[in-house]
Chains A and B, each alone.
Chain A
Amino acid sequence: MSASGAEGQALHAVPEVATEKQTIAQAVRDAMLEEMERDERVIVLGEDVGVDGGVFRATDGLIERFGAERVIDTPLAESAIIGMSVGLAATGFRPIAEIQFMGFVYPAINQLFAHAARMRNRTRGTLSCPMVVRMPYGGGIHPPEHHSESYEALFLNTPGFKVVVPSNPYDAKGLLISAIRDDDPVLFMEPKRVYRAFREAVPAEAYTVPLGRAAVAREGTDVTLIAWGAMVRVCLDASEVLAREDINAEVVDLRTLNPLDRETIISSVVKTGRAVVVHEAPRTGGFGAEISAQIHEHAMLQLEAPVQRVAGFDVVFPLAHNEKLYLPSRDRIVKAVEKVLAF
């Protein structure tokens, strides 16, 4: 049984530089701050991001440092926020747009799907959209529906986006810096449930975590748990429970959903022979289905059991008292693992 990652830490090697214990929210803020210092084309826009500092405090202090020309309070108008970002991005800026909750993005879907995602393709690369859309997503903080949803699958079925979901402060900063420097539109989903749940050593300076590379958050030999964002910690919790039963789970933190690091997934599944995919979004048509399909396509003969999914249910995100039932829990993951082991 591996002891690595026992405390829920990712296996990234923190370089020997000055570090600070930070939350995900702070790491996100610092990533933007450092990129704005480095590159004057980087600007931030969204609802309440300026004077207020963001409803989750992710843009705290930016307007004081960079002024209202670069940290722009917008009207409550998501379609305009994203549409303007497309225009800004195509003409020399690197906008970081904040959508206050992922469930507020729907008015902007037209701008995202019809414009941002297609700019590069329809101009044969003459124009691109170097923009980041930051969206706090997911459940765990109790408000209804739009404030708790997790609809990454919509964007993964739309070619033209990169989709990034950090699970910890170190990755949050490094991935966001990579996203800002990327020349294409990146949807950056922030797991609001763990915005402040824990702190981790984060280098004080800028660094990148490459897009498209998963991390093995815990090494194991018996089963592969595949997750992203807030569900990574739930998987790590579940693997501690499983370890007490002498079941040694490997946890793969995808970090980027598109492009997908298939190699890391497949090599882990080839090693363990069993896989469980965990996500908050509804089960049907969720990204777990795609991962399961790819495992079957590429590692069918190494599989000891069909891939299982632990996901949200096919219902609207429920009110607070049912949230625990809806969200994948440690126990549901443990049960799914027991099922693939018993196959």
Chain B
Amino acid sequence: MDLPHLYRQMLRARAYELAVEDLWNHGFISGEMHLGTGEEAVAAGVVTQLGDGDGLALTHRCSPALVVRGVPLAPMLRELLGAEDGLCGGRGGHMHLFSKEHLAATSGIVGASLPTAAGFALANSRLRPGAIAVAFTGAGAMNQGMALETLNLAVAWRLPLVIICIDNGWAITTTSDSVTGGSLVERAQGFGMRAETVNGRDVRAVYKAAAKQIERARCGKGPSFLLATCPRLDGHFLGDPLIRMANKPIAEGKKVFGSVLSSVVSRGGGGLADRAGGVTQMMSVMAKARRSGTRERRGDPILAVYKTMNKHEAERDRIDAEVAAEIEAAVAEALADVGEGSDG
């Protein structure tokens, strides 16, 4: 296990999402935007172990895995902008990113990654023995019929499939616990599948657990299921808290910002849209402050891995600088022919 490499991949995934958030806040990208912040340890721990021919089916929070997989960043960003030279020719958008070269597919439909990955796995077992498929999914998606159908098929046909189920506690805005019967690990075991839980904030733990399951799949020993717990740092989608606030500004706003909100709301002059735009900007600034490490965010996997790199301080600083430069260059390339965004 190459910890500096895992650290670099996690940082790349986070920095990419922060860049997306920035573009969204400045109006370059519009519409719903789901970030994978908080999932970096899972993405890095699993996807760094994939290689040529391995299939990867992902969810609406697909960026961390794609970044780690080595999908070029500027075309990914261009895709979010809807550009003709985006990763999918500007037709897919952030929930539908595909890379033929990396056998990577994404769907915005909850649960859809599982049957797709099973198809990748079956194809690999016939065409590319030794290659496997990995499905990323969410805990909430495990209640979809297509997910359960896939658990059965994968075991019945002994598919080289690894299902990485990310449990961030939420099924959109409803707590997963309240709509899920029993334990998901036991559910998978009930289908006859190897299944275990791992702390998805701890990249080393994820790497080790995934390594075993990936090895099993490569050797033809069948599918497995890894439940990785991790935080969802930015809500279901960007602007999610803002929608709540528009309806219950006082109650919801206090939960989110407290005094900051009242200063914005009470400021005279500007129209509502401007104010909302102001709040959005403020949210972004605050979210960044939380993530930058100046204010501890409980459970943030980036902070955890940062500490584990204390022994390699010089290397860490070098990686930090290189990742920052890489993302900056990708953003610059993506925006090369784009004018100023519109705020809000």
Residues of A within 8 A of B (CB): 47-48, 50-53, 55, 57, 60, 73-80, 100, 104, 106-107, 141-147, 316, 318-322
Contacts and interface: CB of A to CB of B under 8 A. Distances in A.
Contacts of B50: none
21 contacts: A47-B171, A48-B174, A51-B173, A52-B172, A57-B247, A73-B179, A75-B140, A75-B180, A77-B145, A104-B110, A107-B146, A142-B31, A142-B32, A144-B92, A144-B108, A145-B96, A319-B31, A319-B90, A320-B30, A320-B31, A320-B82
Given A319-B82, A319-B91, A76 B30 contact: no
Given A51-B174, A75-B179, A146 B109 contact: yes
A247 to B, nearest CB: 34
Contacts of A143: 31-32
Nearest to B81: A321
B160 interface: no
B94 interface: yes
Contact of A104 (B31, B90, B109, B243): B109
Interface string B68-101: 0000000000000110000000111111100000
Contacts of A52: 172-174
Contacts of B31: 141-144, 147, 319-320
A145 B108 contact: yes
B95 A145 contact: yes
B45 to A, nearest CB: 25
A49 B27 CA distance: 30
Contacts of A107: 109, 111, 144-146
Contact of A79 (B90, B145, B179): B145
Contact of B171 (A75, A80, A144): A75
A144 B96 contact: yes
B171 A318 contact: no
A103 to B, nearest CB: 8
Interface residues of B, number: 33
Contacts of B110: 76, 104
A50 B175 CA distance: 11
A146 B108 contact: yes
A48 B173 contact: yes
Contacts of A146: 108-109
Nearest to A110: B145
Contacts of A316: 91
B93 A144 contact: yes
B93 A319 contact: yes
In this complex, which of B94, B140, B174 has the most chain A Cβ atoms within 10 angstroms of its Cβ? Answer: B174
B172 A60 contact: no
Interface of B: 29-32, 81-82, 90-96, 108-111, 140-141, 143-146, 171-175, 178-180, 243, 247
Contacts of A60: 247
Nearest to B138: A76
B268 to A, nearest CB: 24
Contacts of A322: 82
B225 to A, nearest CB: 18
Contacts of A104: 109-110
A78 B111 CA distance: 11
A184 to B, nearest CB: 25
Contacts of A141: 31
* For the complex of A and B, 5 pairs with smallest distance between CB atoms: A142-B31, A75-B143, A144-B93, A52-B173, A143-B32
Contacts of A47: 171-172, 174
Contacts of B173: 48, 51-52, 55
B327 to A, nearest CB: 23
Contact of A144 (B95, B111, B175): B95
Nearest to B112: A107
A279 B175 CA distance: 37
Given A76-B143, A100-B172, A144-B108, 11 more contacts: A51-B175, A55-B173, A55-B243, A75-B180, A76-B172, A107-B145, A143-B32, A144-B93, A145-B95, A147-B32, A321-B90
B178 A73 contact: yes
Contacts of B93: 144-145, 319-320
A9 B60 CA distance: 39
Contacts of A80: 143, 145
A77 B179 CA distance: 10
Contacts of B91: 316, 318-319
